[in-house]
Chains A and B, each alone.
Chain A
């Protein structure tokens, strides 16, 4: 799974360079997010702009990150959701749970 991490203005950026998040790779995403927090990453922004498909396990991996951020009293935001991916957040009503921005620029401007 291709994941790129960057530091920008004190925030940790995780770019998901995959077109698809499913049970084959969502465990790796979950582990990477947890590792970033364990290594001291703060105010994580996950860029999902390349992701065209997400299933329940992908949502679960992101929820794990969200809950981890709450435990550590830090931020966890999502950016760049494609329309079909966003529709899955809406169907499960998870768009009310996550901090979601149209793109990276908007997420980093906060």
Chain B
């Protein structure tokens, strides 16, 4: 879990649960990573990866998250906490069994299932929790 002892930056974003907002959210995450201190080439790669994992997480929340029209919002929390870049994507639907999502089999050529694979591959810590108020997919990446 991301610690909260020192939160340097916190972006709390709410968007309608529609794929047309993926570009906006992805670009915000990408710009956040690009503006971090550090080696430029590393930051460019991190920027793409952050755009990708946020895009995948929000797509997932759109597909599995919205149980009814009153809850047709996705909340995205981007933060820098201590030396971690943290992303939390909240949805208010029935959620899904994160641990049961298999690693895609290259021989099967399935058109689906690579989103969670990207998230697991590119982030240092991933956790999906169901709570009474909704579900959260929490991802963090060390940035030092």
Contact across chains for A64 and B111 when beta carbons are under 8 A apart: yes
Name A's interface SS: helix
Contact across chains for B106 and A97 when beta carbons are under 8 A apart: yes
B51 sits at the interface (CB 8 A) = yes
Least CB distance from A27 to B in Å reads 9
B23 sits at the interface (CB 8 A) = yes
0/1 string, A1-44, CB within 8 A of B gives 1:
00000000000000000001011100000000000000000000
A-B contact count (CB 8 A): 63
Contact across chains for A93 and B109 when beta carbons are under 8 A apart: no
Contact across chains for B48 and A53 when beta carbons are under 8 A apart: yes
B76 sits at the interface (CB 8 A) = no
Contact across chains for B104 and A92 when beta carbons are under 8 A apart: yes
Chain A residues near B (Cβ < 8 Å):
20, 22-24, 53, 55-57, 59-61, 63-64, 66-67, 84, 87-88, 91-94, 96-97
* 23 A-B pairs (CB sep. < 8 Å): A20-B23, A20-B26, A22-B55, A23-B19, A23-B22, A23-B55, A23-B62, A24-B20, A53-B48, A53-B52, A55-B55, A55-B115, A55-B118, A56-B56, A56-B112, A56-B115, A56-B117, A60-B114, A67-B109, A84-B48, A88-B118, A93-B106, A94-B106
Complex: A59 Cα to B104 Cα, angstroms: 13
Of residues A55, A63, A91, which shows the largest number of chain B Cβ atoms within 10 Å of its Cβ? A55
Chain B residues near A (Cβ < 8 Å):
19-20, 22-23, 26, 45, 48, 51-52, 55-56, 59, 62, 104, 106, 109-115, 117-118, 121
